Chains A and B, each alone.
Chain A
Amino acid sequence: DADVTQTPRNRITKTGKRIMLECSQTKGHDRMYWYRQDPGLGLRLIYYSFDVKDINKGEISDGYSVSRQAQAKFSLSLESAIPNQTALYFCATSDHKTSGGARETQYFGPGTRLLVL
């Protein structure tokens, strides 16, 4: 079974609709992230959470909100979807309790492809 899962994998919605993308992880990591990928723009950070009570805005948080329901679950909401939010969305996790001087490595889910009409 995958360590980081995302649902749905594909979603088509209409402008103005509210949608939620969900992420679950079985890695036991404390940190979770939401990114979007657009063609030619790489990965950009939307929101991140270092634990259940800690939520932070990333580079492009406008138009998005998040909820960390549990250590293993981190959901991303688009309150009123617009066409320029059409993108590939990735959830990622990391464990800050690394040892031996190693730094955090982020592990990504398979992505959700969102199309806003």
Chain B
Amino acid sequence: DQQVKQNSPSLSVQEGRISILNCDYTNSMFDYFLWYKKYPAEGPTFLISISSIKDKNEDGRFTVFLNKSAKHLSLHIVPSQPGDSAVYFCAASARYGGSQGNLIFGKGTKLSVKP
């Protein structure tokens, strides 16, 4: 049973517009969430994270929003640039509950930003 879901396998956005990538989770023990970005032939690189005590975290063009009641988080990229084209993975972890803080990843969303 998938605990972290990214229901959109792909997303296409025009350069300069906003990209919104969505992620849903089912485990209420998750209390820390991360977004990773992956280019072809490279390993995933950490992008931004958010703790469950917050509902928003911003870093430059990237903002992550967390809605705990809906068990939903989203990554906003504004403005989108062609170099943002990559696969984005959502990940979650739980400090307690037996998983030892390990990350659970979604299946990823491939973002294409068109010039």
Contact = CB atoms under 8 A, between A and B. Distances in A.
Interface stretch (B13-21, B44-52, B69-77): B44-52
A110 B41 contact: yes
Interface residues of B, number: 24
Contacts, number: 51
Interface in B22-77: 32, 34, 36, 41-46, 49, 51
Given A45-B103, A110-B42, 13 more contacts: A33-B102, A40-B107, A42-B6, A90-B44, A92-B43, A103-B101, A104-B93, A106-B46, A108-B43, A108-B44, A108-B45, A110-B41, A110-B43
Interface of B: 6, 9, 32, 34, 36, 41-46, 49, 51, 89, 93, 95, 100-103, 105-108
26 contacts: A33-B102, A40-B107, A41-B107, A42-B6, A42-B107, A42-B108, A43-B44, A44-B105, A45-B103, A48-B102, A58-B102, A90-B43, A92-B43, A101-B51, A103-B32, A103-B49, A103-B51, A103-B93, A104-B93, A104-B101, A105-B49, A108-B36, A108-B43, A108-B44, A108-B45, A109-B43
